[in-house]
Amino acid sequence: MRDQNAFYITTPIYYVNDVPHIGHAYTTVAADVLARYWRLRGRDVMFLTGLDEHGQKVQQAAAKAGIDPQTHCDKLAPQFQDLWKRLNISNDAFIRTTDAPHKKAVQSFLQELYDKQLIYKDSYTGWYCTFDERFWTEKDVVGGLCPDCKRPIEQLSEYNYFFKMGQYQERLIDHIKQHPNFIRPESRRNEVLGFLTTQKLGDLSISRPKSRLSWGIELPFDQEYVTYVWFDALVNYVSALDYLCPTPSRERYWPASVHLVGKDILTTHAVYWSTMLMALNLPLPETIFAHGWWTVDGEKMSKSRGNVVDPNKMAETYGIDAFRYFLLREVPFGQDGDFSQTAMVASINSDLANGIGNLLSRTLTMIERFTDGKIPASGPPALPELEEKIAQAATQLPAILERGFTALTFRDNLQAIGELVSLCDEYIDKAAPWKLAKNPDDTPKLKTVLNYSARALRLLAVSLHPFMPQTTEQLAQQLGYRFDFSKAIPASAYEWNSPVADLAIAKGNPLFPRIEIAATAPTAAPKAQKDSSKKGAQPVSDTTATPQPVPPAATTTPAATTAAPATPAAVAAPAPAELAQITIDEFFKIQLKTARVISAERVPKSEKLLKLQVSLGTEQRQIVAGIGKKYEPETLVGKMIVIVANLKPAKLMGIESQGMVLAAGDSDVRGLATILEEVEPGTKVK
């Protein structure tokens, strides 16, 4: 069994024929974030990724190119290896299923199952999809097309070898029921259980005749057949531990802590792989986590549409760490997500340039200016209430992160980090250290503000490192720290009260230059704006495009908080528009009422919309609200919210909405409007 301190994380092994796209990057970046976090916390991490290089598609592609399959694989493999280096992926091993030791392991497992009489030969007639390299039953096929890829299929009749998968059906059902974290998220667990409990599990064809497919691992007990590509591929998770570690490490790392997969290959992992392991008397992985798919601007990715997202191009255009951040910030991990460059620009400008980058720049500028470039010791409170909030948020953050990384709730972790950034921005704005610096009697309070900000930034450096490794190294260095992020970080780096005083800062370039987009061409490739600030300048987070100086006195207002996305730099910031005024009579036409949430669920095919059933005391309403990025449905049940009760019903994605939920925020929902005291549902709000 796995060493208690070990953490073994895997991605699927990707088809060597594929062109790397956002889906590959998504899985691999998520695995890398987990690996980096647990290394920082002192665990013995093994992170595996690699390539699946056998099968009919590879054989056909090689023949079309006029080269042998191995040469074809050798030619294509670097496109993945180079991308992982570019995206700062810290995998410990990279497996290729054409590796000789892997082939030997596959043949060893096949022979073991054959000797146990768990593999038998039989004839089979069925519908076969070459693209997916799998058979389908008559009831699965509609219109002569593969149920998965919708490509034409052909009927084949041949002898093959079968693994007695069906006899493990009840045992697998029991395992899933007894281990709630075995398949995650819960919706995927229910999906697999539903499949297993409503139909009989058949046996699995684990061979292909060489007369049809020669590019594969030969069966050790019949030289006329090669191994089915999925049997070959799944074994990689175990075989890699026998030959890609400095010493054989199966006992050290197996079973895997987490298999990360896309939802399209959940069945092969949760059913095929699990029953194979049971037959081999090997422990099952602790967790198989199936994440969702990405669409692009609301459409499915496809070569024909020309909308396949190239991770190389995204990293080049926006920066590696900004791309990594966006992938895990945009959508809750496990759900489907929609990729758009507009959303990425908004995220970079709002969360990164105006968030963490702004906080670092303005803090270091003031330390440089007011305390001779050294972080001062804390003095008396400047704003006790806000300081208490910052201390509380910072003290709780490490535990929140550990829970989040255990549950794979990456987005929740980034939101918690963002809340600390927002608190610090609010603190600086309200404490106005540039004013404190004007009065010598306020110097002790000034030092407190700078000390608190620097301590928060130290915590932010280690907290954000798994997501943005390059950027956080720069952040730490500018603060005066020399952390070795390749191994466990001292516990003191996570402790709020650890001293930072007397560290000499080394202010450098902005962490995240703002992104500019031409106003007349919103779809044009954006680019990072070069830093135009001079010494003593700071980026701001309001709607102006250029950085503004730290106020030397009470003559200039401080930078705004990070609530609103920044206007792209290439677009001239408009003058503030006057609010349209309404009369009191017009206002009274709006009926605001309290409502209690009875139930909540996600609207299919939408990451933002939730369908709520709410009680207004004397009646029940259905409301569709765009709050799904901020809230999980179950967290809303029982909440008292405020709604517009007399809004004309409308349909959203075909679902009628009988009102509107009030919430705060601009491009993103930041909070629901609620009532402090307990009141009855249906109470008027005025």
Q: Are 431 and 550 in contact (CB under 8 A)?
A: no
Q: Are 506 and 477 in contact (CB under 8 A)?
A: yes
Q: What is the mean pLDDT of residues 639-668?
A: 86
Question: Using a CB cutoff of 8 Å and minimum separation of 24, what contacts does 602-611 make?
Answer: 602/335, 602/628, 602/633, 603/628, 603/652, 603/653, 603/655, 605/336, 605/653, 606/653, 607/331, 607/332, 607/335, 607/336, 607/337, 607/338, 609/652, 609/653, 610/636, 611/655
Helix (H, G, I), strand (E, B) or coil at 207: strand
**Dihedral (Cα; 566, 572, 578, 580), 10-degree rounding:** -80
Confidence of residue 667 (pLDDT cuts 50, 70, 90): low
235 or 656: which leads in pLDDT: 235
Q: How far apart are CA 286 and CA 268, in angstroms?
A: 16
Lowest mean pLDDT among 33-47, 372-386, 389-403, 523-537: 523-537
Q: Pairing mode, if any, of strands 258-262 and 154-163?
A: unpaired
Question: Using a CB cutoff of 8 Å and minimum separation of 24, what contacts does 481-489 make?
Answer: 485/36, 485/40, 486/39, 487/39, 488/39, 488/40, 488/41, 488/42, 489/40, 489/41, 489/462
For CA atoms 84, 86, 87, 88, give the dihedral sign: positive
Q: How far apart are CA 196 and CA 382, in angstroms?
A: 62
* Residue ranges with strand state E in 381-507: none
Predicted local confidence at residue 574, as pLDDT: 36
Rounded to the nearest 5 degrees, what angle is found at the Cα of 326, between the Cα atoms of 324 and 330? 140
Predicted local confidence at residue 580, as pLDDT: 65
State the chain's maximal CA–CA distance in angstroms.
92
Q: How far apart are CA 265 and CA 11, in angstroms?
A: 12
Q: 584-685 falls under which CATH superfamily?
A: Nucleic acid-binding proteins (2.40.50.140)
Q: How far apart are CA 193 and CA 196, in angstroms?
A: 5
Going by C-beta distance under 8 Å and a sequence separation of 6 or more, which residues neighbour residue 22? 294, 301, 308, 309, 311, 314, 327, 339
Helix (H, G, I), strand (E, B) or coil at 435: helix
Q: Give the pLDDT confidence of 62-108 residue by residue, as tens digits.
A: 999 999 999 999 999 999 999 999 999 999 999 999 999 999 999 99
Q: How far apart are CA 555 and CA 647, in angstroms?
A: 45
Any idea which residue has 């056998």 for tokens? 54
Q: Give percent of the chain with pLDDT exceeding 70.
A: 90
Predicted local confidence at residue 561, as pLDDT: 29
Q: Are 606 and 628 in contact (CB under 8 A)?
A: yes
CB neighbourhood size of 294 (10 A): 21
Q: Give the pLDDT confidence of 549-583 residue by residue, as tens digits.
A: 333 322 222 232 222 333 233 323 333 345 567 77
Q: Are 447 and 379 in contact (CB under 8 A)?
A: yes
Measured in whole angstroms, the distance separating CA 178 from the mean position of its chain's CA atoms is: 27
Look up residue 457 and give its two tokens.
Answer: 């930034």
Of 547, 472, 537, 540, which is closest to residue 511 (Cα–Cα)?
Answer: 472
Q: How far apart are CA 249 and CA 109, in angstroms?
A: 17
Predicted local confidence at residue 556, as pLDDT: 27
Going by C-beta distance under 8 Å and a sequence separation of 6 or more, which residues neighbour residue 60? 130
Lowest mean pLDDT among 17-31, 55-69, 228-242, 630-644: 630-644
* C-alpha gyration radius of the chain: 28
Of 304, 449, 322, which is closest to residue 383 (Cα–Cα)?
Answer: 449
DSSP secondary structure letters along 321-352: HHHHHHHHHSS-BTB-EEE-HHHHHHHIIIII
The helix or strand, by DSSP H or E, that contains position 119, with its residue range, turns out to be strand 119-129
Predicted local confidence at residue 562, as pLDDT: 29
Q: How far apart are CA 286 and CA 9, in angstroms?
A: 10
Predicted local confidence at residue 376, as pLDDT: 97
Q: How far apart are CA 5 and CA 488, in angstroms?
A: 13
Q: What is the mean pLDDT of residues 358-364?
A: 95
Q: What is the mean pLDDT of residues 122-146?
A: 80
Length of the chain: 686
Helix (H, G, I), strand (E, B) or coil at 380: coil
Measured in whole angstroms, the distance separating CA 369 from the mean position of its chain's CA atoms is: 38
Predicted local confidence at residue 257, as pLDDT: 98
Confidence of residue 585 (pLDDT cuts 50, 70, 90): low
Q: Give percent of the chain with pLDDT exceeding 90.
A: 67
598 or 234: which leads in pLDDT: 234
Q: Give the pLDDT confidence of 587-620 residue by residue, as tens digits.
A: 777 889 998 887 788 888 788 899 998 888 767 8
Q: Are 93 and 48 in contact (CB under 8 A)?
A: yes
Side chain identity at residue 109, one-letter code: F
Fold of the 6-292 domain:
Rossmann fold (3.40.50)
Q: How far apart are CA 231 and CA 106, in angstroms?
A: 8
Which ranges in 543-678 belong to alpha helices (H)? 584-588
Packed helices 311-318 and 69-86: angle between N→C axes, nearest 10 degrees: 20
Lowest mean pLDDT among 5-19, 221-235, 482-496, 522-536: 522-536
Q: Are 193 and 176 in contact (CB under 8 A)?
A: yes
Q: Is pLDDT above 60 for 37?
A: yes
Q: Is pLDDT above 50 for 523?
A: no
The pLDDT mean for the chain works out to: 87
Look up residue 70 and give its two tokens.
Answer: 């191995």
Q: How far apart are CA 413 and CA 332, in angstroms?
A: 10
Going by C-beta distance under 8 Å and a sequence separation of 6 or more, which residues neighbour residue 575? none
User: For residue 56, what are the β-bridge partners?
Assistant: none
Q: Are 289 and 332 in contact (CB under 8 A)?
A: no
Predicted local confidence at residue 134, as pLDDT: 76
Which sequence spans correspond to the domains of the chain?
6-292, 339-549, 584-685
Side chain identity at residue 284, one-letter code: L
Of 179, 171, 162, 63, which is closest to residue 118 (Cα–Cα)?
Answer: 162
Q: Is pLDDT above 60 for 149?
A: yes
Predicted local confidence at residue 629, as pLDDT: 85
State the DSSP code for 374: B
Q: For the chain, first and last CA: distance in Å? A: 63
Question: Using a CB cutoff of 8 Å and minimum separation of 24, what contacts does 88-91 make?
Answer: 88/32, 88/320, 88/321, 88/324, 88/469, 88/470, 89/28, 89/29, 89/32, 89/49, 90/32, 90/35, 90/36, 90/39, 90/47, 90/469, 91/28, 91/31, 91/32, 91/35, 91/47, 91/48, 91/49
126 or 531: which leads in pLDDT: 126
Under CATH, to which class is 339-549 assigned? mainly alpha
Predicted local confidence at residue 606, as pLDDT: 85
Helix (H, G, I), strand (E, B) or coil at 344: helix
CB neighbourhood size of 675 (10 A): 12
Q: Are 366 and 433 in contact (CB under 8 A)?
A: yes
Predicted local confidence at residue 616, as pLDDT: 86
Lowest mean pLDDT among 23-37, 306-320, 591-605: 591-605
Predicted local confidence at residue 146, as pLDDT: 87
Confidence of residue 272 (pLDDT cuts 50, 70, 90): very high
Q: Are 42 and 104 in contact (CB under 8 A)?
A: no
